[in-house]
Amino acid sequence: MIRKSIRTSTRKEAIEITSMVEEEIKGIKNGIAIIYVPHTTAGVIINEAFDPAVAEDILNELSRLIPYSDKYKHLEGNADAHIQATLTGSSVMIPIESGRLLLGRWQGVFFMEFDGPRNREFYIKVIKE
């Protein structure tokens, strides 16, 4: 299990971490990489990495759907972030084939910050076939 640290710089942010994952699968021919985020107000997704506007649109629409203020019972002031993290999920799994992540041409892996800026972490678990 590999632990990675990341520093986010705004409250809502999508940080591409594909190269950090690729770094950790070097020497693995076939298997599975699991990327896991151990936070309640951050998540991880796979989506388009070619046009940065896509990640921006995802963040903007999540903020529109789940606004900062609503009739939330959680009084810490970050209920929106908890719900957004629930929608994105805490882990993704990517097959490793012939030494590379089996991502589609336009796909990348993003750490999704919903209540930054903070020091964050995520884990990469590689299971060899």
Span near Zn ion by CB under 5 A; candidates 23-31, 77-85, 96-104, 118-126: 77-85
- Binding status of residue 8 toward Zn ion by CB under 5 A: no
- Binding status of residue 84 toward Zn ion by CB under 5 A: no
- Binding status of residue 76 toward Zn ion by CB under 5 A: yes
CA 63/CA 78 separation, integer angstroms: 12
Q: Is 85 helix (H, G, I), strand (E, B) or coil?
A: helix
Query: What is the separation of C-alpha 31 from the centre of its chain, rounded to a whole number of angstroms?
Result: 20
Binding residue for Zn ion, selected from 8, 43, 62, 78, defined by CB under 5 A: 78
Whichever of 76 and 129 has its CB closer to Zn ion, that residue is 76
CA 57/CA 62 separation, integer angstroms: 8
Q: Do the beta carbons of residue 72 and residue 79 sit within 8 Å?
A: yes
CA 62/CA 83 separation, integer angstroms: 9
Which residue number has the CB closest to Zn ion? 76
Q: Do the beta carbons of residue 14 and residue 120 sit within 8 Å?
A: no
In the complex, minimum distance from the CB of residue 68 to Zn ion, in angstroms, rounded to a whole number = 13
Whichever of 8 and 49 has its CB closer to Zn ion, that residue is 8
Whichever of 78 and 88 has its CB closer to Zn ion, that residue is 78
Residue numbers at the binding site for Zn ion (CB under 5 A): 76, 78
